[in-house]
Amino acid sequence: MKEKAVDSILEARKNYMTNQSKGELLVLIKEYAKLELYKEVNRYIREFLEKSRDISDIMEISENFPMEIQNFLKEIKEGIEIDEDFDADSLLEMGELLWEIGSPEEARDNYIKAFESYNILGRNDSAEEVLNTLMSRYHDDQDVRELKIRDVKGELYEKFAEMENLVPQDEVDLRYALGKRMHEADLLSDAEENYKRILTLRKDHKARRYLVAILRDKNALEEALNYAEKLEESEKLDEYYSLALSFKAVGNKEKANTLLREIYEINQEYKDVKELFEAKREEKKEIVKKEEEAFVEMDKEIIKTTGESVVDEKDKGEERIVFL
């Protein structure tokens, strides 16, 4: 079932990126809930409710939610008697019509039902408008004065935020499967998120190297290096070498040389590092030699002019140390 859920998540994620459909968001919420990955459930519920006016569709897929949230949604639905023959908009229209034809008591009942429907569905703006109408027309009615707007969406967000800390027993394996599939499908931000989550749970997981590759490819080179530092030696050499080339490509030769030096200190025979390192050393020596020759010529001119050398006698003949 979990492999099927992973497939469904991948398909829905690709489809949602293409068409931004609320239906694909519902699939994502439902399938992530099956895997008990509530961080994603919470995120996609928030995204869904930014697009949707109410929580009715969320209620329809609540069978996959934790029991605490199922009970919360059930309590919301059962706590208020709703007219099943009319939706909230129809009840509001009926109330307005009854008010206009001079039936204020019947209008009041429909306004209250409309308010309660909007309230439990999380349509707070609509609920507030109806409540304002009720307060202006029935300000002495005790039942009306006791009506309160409930932030159902906010309560739902809080419930799922509390669930985020619950860790499924097989979360590492689930996220690795998701990360690899998303990586292969070029859903790189999703893959990156899963790999990072894995490493908070198991620092020595092989997802680290895949994460380094993603970060390197998007030129987040310093962050990639931070993760690469904790790789096993053989993998570290590979990633340091690749990162050295990447740093060089973006013009950071100093960082590239630092990484090559670190590789050289670990294993002088790794790839062409020895040749690169020695060539760099010779290049530096040549630069230093030319600088010294230029300095000597300059000193000769000073001696001709002043009769004195700017070079301390004890420094003459000493070889200058070359640093890479």
Q: What is the pLDDT of residues 29-42, one digit of tens each?
A: 999 998 889 889 99
The whole-number average pLDDT for the span 124-150 is 94
CATH fold for the domain made of 171-270: 1.25.40
pTM equals 0.74
Q: What is the pLDDT of residues 170-184, one digit of tens each?
A: 899 999 999 999 999
Q: Take residue 225 and report the two structure tokens written for it.
A: 């290096």
The alpha-carbon radius of gyration of the chain (Å, integer) is 34
Q: What is the pLDDT of residues 21-30, one digit of tens each?
A: 888 899 999 9
Which pLDDT band holds residue 297 (cuts at 50, 70, 90)? low
Which pLDDT band holds residue 314 (cuts at 50, 70, 90)? very low
Domain residue ranges of the chain, discontinuous segments joined by +: 171-270, 276-315
Instruction: Give residue 309's pLDDT.
Output: 64
The whole-number average pLDDT for the span 181-194 is 94
Q: Phi and psi (nearest 5°) for 186?
A: 65, 25
Q: Collect contacts of 234-239 with beta carbons under 8 A, ≥24 apart.
A: 235/209, 236/266, 237/263, 237/266, 237/267, 237/270, 239/209, 239/212, 239/213
Whether 231 has a pLDDT exceeding 80, the answer reads: yes
The whole-number average pLDDT for the span 271-299 is 66
The whole-number average pLDDT for the span 101-111 is 95
Q: 73-77, 166-170, 297-301: which has the minimum mean pLDDT?
A: 297-301
Residue labelled with tokens 């080339």: 245
Whether 323 has a pLDDT exceeding 50, the answer reads: no
Which pLDDT band holds residue 103 (cuts at 50, 70, 90)? very high
Which pLDDT band holds residue 161 (cuts at 50, 70, 90)? confident
* Average pLDDT over all residues of the chain: 85
